[in-house]
Amino acid sequence: MDVNQDIVVYGARGNPYTYFGLYTINYFAGKNAQIYHDGIDGSKQAGLPIQKERQTLPPVSVTLVPQSQ
């Protein structure tokens, strides 16, 4: 994952771990992360396509630097 790209964090609807994911990305200098609050449940209810096949992307090199709070 490249923290410099747009990132959407999601999980099951109302899952608090999505917020931990967002916090972690922001902590390591990610500036373009957002949460999809309705999660995968909302995508299914809306009839949006869900990709079930595994997708493999080429690796990227990332240096994680904690940000001052």
pLDDT in tens, 12-43: 888 899 999 999 988 888 889 999 888 888 98
Residue spans per domain, the chain: 1-69
Residue 22: the pLDDT is 92
Give residue 69's pLDDT: 67
Would the pTM of this model clear 0.85, i.e. be above it?
A: no
DSSP letters, 11-64, are: -STT-THHHHHHHHHHHTT--SEEE-TTHHHHHHHTT-----S-----------
Alpha-carbon torsion (9, 54, 64, 15), positive or negative? positive
| CA distances (Å), origin 52, targets 21, 55, 61, 63 | 21, 9, 26, 30
Residue-level pLDDT at 46: 93
